[in-house]
Structure 1
Amino acid sequence: MAITTEGIRENKTFLDEEVAELSGLETNLNKTNTVSTKMVDILNSFDTRLASLETSVLPIHKSTQSLTRLAGNMDQTVAALEAILSYFDLAAQEEAIVVRPLTEHDLHSYLQSIGRIREYLRTMSLVKLKAGERVVQQLKRSLNVAAGQLNELFRKLLTQNSPPLDLKVVTSSDRKDIPPFPANTAQAFITISKSLAEIDLDPNATPTGYLKSYCEIRANTMIKSLAPLYQSSNVELKGVYEKDTSPFIPYTTSLLKLCRNEADLADTLLDPKLLSLAFMGSIMPPIEQWVETGRIITRRIRKTYTSEVGVLFDVIEALESNMNTFESVFGLARRQKENDALELLKTFKATAMRTFIDFLADVRNQNNPKYQAMPLDGTVHQMTSDTLNYMKRLMNYQPMVESILNLIGDGNWNSPEAGASQNRRPQAAGRSGRSSAMQHYFADVLEALVQNIDVKSKFYKKGQSLAQLFLLNNYFYISKSVRTTPGLLETLNGPDTAHLAPNSLTSAVYERPLKQSVDLYQDNWKTCVEHLMDVTYLQDGGVQHVLNSNQRQMVKDKFKNFNHDFDELWKTQKQYSIPDVDLRTMVLKDVHQVLIPMYDKFLTKYASSNGSGTTMEFTKNVQKYVRYDVSMVKDMVSQFFTNS
């Protein structure tokens, strides 16, 4: 019980302490609330006062910020104005630099000055000040002066490093023989061209000053380097052209070589966007000169094709073999649609076609002024020699001749106005596999030649002997030329020449007429031979050795008539000519075989002085009638037709 009361008393005491503590806490809480209320009131008062302060200070703050910005702007403006005002002085300073004479050694500092001027100009162009316009104009003038100075230096350096090349270098097959630009000079060109491109304020503009200089100088260098070939190509041919000797051929290959070199040079020295312009500008003047030379050659050959026809074929071959190179050259110059070389090739081929047509027309033209003159000695006519020589020259270019004739159309050379699509003959190929156009063309030429020669032989008015001799000389010349010119006989008769029929083309055209002309010429000696024909006089069943008066007179007349006719033949025909020894031997062979033996026999019978006692005396004055002995007649006959 005691324990319980004690426990209760302790609990009560504990509770009292807790209650007292709670009362203290409550008292403190009340005090805190009072303080908090006062603090809130104070803070509310501060907020009100701060709001009032903000209302009072904010306009002042804003004004202060505006004044600060205004001060900063004024400082920047002053600095900008000071910088702009400095450009007025700097423009004058840079102008003094760029107007001084420029040398290669001053290039670096000069380009630095140009860079500063460009920078000043960009800055001043943005300034909208009236006074700044004067500076802008001054800076632009300085840039123009600088561009002019750079152009002049570019031109000067390029001129110094663009001497004409030696002819050996131009015509050599290796482009490495062309001396390159020195490395430092090449770098100077690159720097100058780049600077000139940057000077122009319009980035889309094409700089024309130094580009024009470049084109003019390099084109002039090419023209001067090619001048010897250009001049020799324009010289008229003296004599007969020899295959592969036309100076226009090395002119063509050398031109291409220099063009390729110009492409490399422009690629090295100039901006890529200017490459095609510079390349075209530098190569077109020499190419135009080359083209004009080719046209001059074609015009000249139209007049002298019989001697210069080989030039046409050599040049055509050279152009065709180099056409790919020409196409690449014109491609670099962006002239794919204007291939001057291709046009020139067409001109040469058209000229070649025209020469075939004109030549056949000339041979057929019996009133051709060029061939009106007739040889007084009956020798080969100029038309015959020209015709066969022309055919010989064509044989050196058989594939090319076939190609050109096929362009005309087989047979269209007889009527060119019909066009290549209307051929007179089908283009059949012979056993050799080649077209027969060349065979047909040569056949037409020979037929026309023989017909013209026959007509011309009738112009001889003095007698048939000269006309016959004229035909002999010309027919034999044709025959010999055809048989001695390699490939000509095969071309005329086809590949089976060894098995020709008797009525082959060559036989029909001139060989049978040749034999007939020889026979006709022998008739000129017929009267002389007839005077030497004799009879054996018989008397009382034996040979008569003494002539009566009538018989003696007959012998006298025979000698007299022989002397007269022989003298006439000698008088007229000693002026005639058979230049070919083989033909002269053939013509005089029958005369020697018939006339000399008959004269020897006749002379022995009537005027022998050998003392044999067999001579039949016909006169006391033998020397009056016997003018020639046998050896004299033989020698005189041998001297016929040697008036060459």
Structure 2
Amino acid sequence: MPSSTAMKQLSQLATYIATSVTEIGYAVDFTKPYADIRSVYMQKSLTPLSQSVQSSEKHKGISYEKGSSEFLKYMECFVKMVKSECSFSRKILGNATQRTAALRSTIGPPLAEFVAAGRQLVAIAKRLPYSESIFVFDILEKYERDCQASLDAIGQEYDLEMKELTELMQSVITTALKSFYDFMEDIKGKREANSIVNISVDGTVNEMTSNTLNYLKRLILWRDMVEPLLICIGDGGWNQPVMSQSISFDKISFGGSSSLGAALLQKFLVDALDQLCISLQTKSRGYKKPTLATVFLLNNYNYILRQIRSPPLNAIFDENTEVKFGKLVKKQLDAYQESWKPCVENLMDVTYVRGGTIKNALSGADRQMVKDKFKNFNMEFDEIWRTQTAYAIPDPELRNQVIRDVKNVIVPMYGRFLDKYQSTEFTKNPSKYIKYDKEKLERMINHLFEPSA
């Protein structure tokens, strides 16, 4: 920016030229050279920011952090330069008509370059999966919060129209709305060739589950943008493809929160989790072993429950959602306990009471029955242990709960059965049938679902 003395001289010169028609006999239009010089200055100043956008943004992907977009810096500097240029022109160009004409020519080229960079970024976002194009919400928020009011004021004060910029932001809005639909389609599994292919061999939390919850948490970062967009498409509109011509852009208001927006955000998130549950149930059918399918659902439902109980999602979901997933977790815990039923059945003692008295002497049939029970228990326990040590429960608290539930049933029952018969003469070779003591049994159960297994 020139010094105050230079500014005064330039202003005097401009005034003289503008009013010298009677003195020199013709009018001198100096707005073109003014615009050419100032426009080149603006472009040179902004070009490095434009170039940095193309080299960084498309590589952000799911690791994108709020506020890190190079385009945000570009947008901020562009608006500041436009404001500065308008202020400069007011000091130099006293004639309002000439000033408006000069500003249109001055701002035009840098505006075109800014819009071109934005359009290229939007094109990249449209090609990316919804989880990697989240930066469009950041662009929208920056524009709505920090830029639009200033640009609207400039437009009114200096009679400037920035139609290209308005169209750019409409394409950003369209892309953001499209991501809602793409997100729901992804959860429904409609973008997967085979929904049961992408399941782990150990039943751990599925990638779809973690991706879904991570995306929902990231959306909350731009809640003030998301809620008005959901109002725009209405309840359930996220299940329909978005067409730009059907969007009432002028009716979208990003000015603060509303009860309707909050309700639609909650409905959107609940719908997403409902669809996720359906997809998880479908995926669980890809496991040939029912117990592994149960562990898979247990891990995923528990992961969802943990996430909706924690910030920021706990501020969105109500108690009903938490209760629902609590019941789903409990159902899978109960179903898992059923996998130990063969062991439990072999520890049921039918020789304890006969005719109301404890039976001390065992008949041949009783001795064979005890042998079979020990033998069958060992076989069932070994098979369950061998199989389930390959399963995973990554949540330490859940793993401890599952193991504790198993031990609370198996260890006492086995202990009573062992104490009852190890001192009897059910066999001449006890070591053939009594494979475990209570301590070893408990230690082995403790090794179920180990992360290193």
| TM-score, normalised relative to structure 1 | 0.59
TM-fit CA distance, 1:543: 4.7
> Does residue 576 in structure 1 map to residue 397 in structure 2?
no
In structure 2, relative to structure 1, the CA distance for the partners of 1:521 and 1:534 (3 Å cut) is same
**Does the CA contact (< 8 Å) of 2:31 and 2:101 recur in 1?**
no
Structure 1 gaps of 5+ residues are: 1-178, 422-430, 498-503, 608-614
Aligned mate of 2:279, from 440, 448, 452 = 452
**Does the CA contact (< 8 Å) of 2:35 and 2:106 recur in 1?**
no
C-alpha distance in 1 between matches for 2:290 and 2:129: 34
> Does residue 436 in structure 1 map to residue 263 in structure 2?
yes
Partner of 1:479: 305
Q: Which amino acid aligns with 2:275?
A: A
TM-fit CA distance, 1:293: 3.1
More displaced 10-residue stretch of structure 1: 263-272 or 466-475: 263-272
C-alpha distance in 2 between matches for 1:190 and 1:620: 120
Partner of 1:554: 369
Matches within 5 A, 1:252-263: 252-263=75-86
Q: After superposition, what is the alpha-carbon deviation per residue over 1:557-594, rounded to whole angstroms, capped at 9, x for unaligned? A: 22222222112112221111111122222322321100
Partner of 1:414: 239
Aligned mate of 1:467, from 286, 293, 303 = 293
In structure 2, relative to structure 1, the CA distance for the partners of 1:219 and 1:474 (3 Å cut) is same
In structure 2, relative to structure 1, the CA distance for the partners of 1:367 and 1:555 (3 Å cut) is farther
C-alpha distance in 2 between matches for 1:619 and 1:576: 36
> Does residue 341 in structure 1 map to residue 128 in structure 2?
no
C-alpha distance in 2 between matches for 1:408 and 1:539: 73
More displaced 10-residue stretch of structure 1: 214-223 or 265-274: 265-274
C-alpha distance in 1 between matches for 2:411 and 2:356: 31
In structure 2, relative to structure 1, the CA distance for the partners of 1:281 and 1:630 (3 Å cut) is farther
Q: Secondary structure at the match of 1:522?
A: helix
C-alpha distance in 1 between matches for 2:310 and 2:342: 37
Matches within 5 A, 1:91-130: none
**Does the CA contact (< 8 Å) of 1:363 and 1:383 recur in 2?**
yes
Q: Percent identity?
A: 34
C-alpha distance in 1 between matches for 2:57 and 2:221: 24
Tell me the C-alpha RMSD between the 2 structures.
3.9
C-alpha distance in 2 between matches for 1:262 and 1:211: 12
**Does the CA contact (< 8 Å) of 1:532 and 1:602 recur in 2?**
yes
C-alpha distance in 1 between matches for 2:87 and 2:14: 18
Matches within 5 A, 1:21-36: none
TM-fit CA distance, 1:340: 3.0
In structure 2, relative to structure 1, the CA distance for the partners of 1:619 and 1:326 (3 Å cut) is same
Q: After superposition, what is the alpha-carbon deviation per residue over 1:436-488, rounded to whole angstroms, capped at 9, x for unaligned? A: 32232222212211111111111112x100111111111111222112234x4
Matches within 5 A, 1:232-381: 234-237=57-60, 239-267=62-90, 275-302=99-126, 303-306=128-131, 308-309=133-134, 311-321=135-145, 322-330=147-155, 335-336=160-161, 338-366=162-190, 368-369=192-193, 372-381=197-206
Aligned mate of 2:415, from 593, 596, 600 = 600
C-alpha distance in 1 between matches for 2:390 and 2:267: 38
Q: After superposition, what is the alpha-carbon deviation per residue over 1:219-251, rounded to whole angstroms, capped at 9, x for unaligned? A: 332224635764576352154344444343332
C-alpha distance in 1 between matches for 2:194 and 2:55: 28
TM-fit CA distance, 1:308: 4.8
> Does residue 643 in structure 1 map to residue 448 in structure 2?
no
**Does the CA contact (< 8 Å) of 1:360 and 1:445 recur in 2?**
yes
Aligned mate of 1:384, from 204, 209, 221 = 209
C-alpha distance in 2 between matches for 1:558 and 1:306: 54
Q: Which amino acid aligns with 2:141?
A: E
In structure 2, relative to structure 1, the CA distance for the partners of 1:536 and 1:438 (3 Å cut) is same
Q: Which amino acid aligns with 1:602?
A: F
Q: Which has the higher contact order (CA 8 A, sep 6+)?
A: 2
Q: After superposition, what is the alpha-carbon deviation per residue over 1:324-376, rounded to whole angstroms, capped at 9, x for unaligned? A: 3213445677542x433322222222222211122112212355259641121
Structure 2 gaps of 5+ residues are: 249-257
**Does the CA contact (< 8 Å) of 1:215 and 1:278 recur in 2?**
no
> Does residue 395 in structure 1 map to residue 220 in structure 2?
yes
In structure 2, relative to structure 1, the CA distance for the partners of 1:433 and 1:192 (3 Å cut) is closer
C-alpha distance in 1 between matches for 2:440 and 2:39: 81
TM-fit CA distance, 1:307: 5.2
Larger of the two Rg values belongs to structure: 1
More displaced 10-residue stretch of structure 1: 341-350 or 284-293: 284-293
**Does the CA contact (< 8 Å) of 1:378 and 1:576 recur in 2?**
yes
TM-fit CA distance, 1:254: 1.7
Q: Secondary structure at the match of 1:234?
A: helix
Q: Which amino acid aligns with 1:474?
A: N
| TM-score, normalised relative to structure 2 | 0.81
C-alpha distance in 2 between matches for 1:267 and 1:233: 37
**Does the CA contact (< 8 Å) of 1:326 and 1:341 recur in 2?**
no
Q: Which amino acid aligns with 2:419?
A: T
C-alpha distance in 2 between matches for 1:520 and 1:511: 14
**Does the CA contact (< 8 Å) of 2:203 and 2:293 recur in 1?**
yes
Partner of 2:43: 220
In structure 2, relative to structure 1, the CA distance for the partners of 1:381 and 1:235 (3 Å cut) is same
**Does the CA contact (< 8 Å) of 2:291 and 2:339 recur in 1?**
yes
Q: After superposition, what is the alpha-carbon deviation per residue over 1:524-576, rounded to whole angstroms, capped at 9, x for unaligned? A: 00001111222336799975545454433333322222222112112221111
Q: Which amino acid aligns with 2:328?
A: P
C-alpha distance in 1 between matches for 2:3 and 2:285: 73
**Does the CA contact (< 8 Å) of 1:298 and 1:351 recur in 2?**
yes
**Does the CA contact (< 8 Å) of 2:49 and 2:73 recur in 1?**
no
**Does the CA contact (< 8 Å) of 2:236 and 2:268 recur in 1?**
yes
In structure 2, relative to structure 1, the CA distance for the partners of 1:543 and 1:435 (3 Å cut) is closer
Q: After superposition, what is the alpha-carbon deviation per residue over 1:267-304, rounded to whole angstroms, capped at 9, x for unaligned? A: 55679575445433443333333323333443444424
Q: Matched residue pairs, number?
A: 435
C-alpha distance in 2 between matches for 1:230 and 1:396: 22
C-alpha distance in 2 between matches for 1:586 and 1:238: 37
More displaced 10-residue stretch of structure 1: 203-212 or 290-299: 203-212
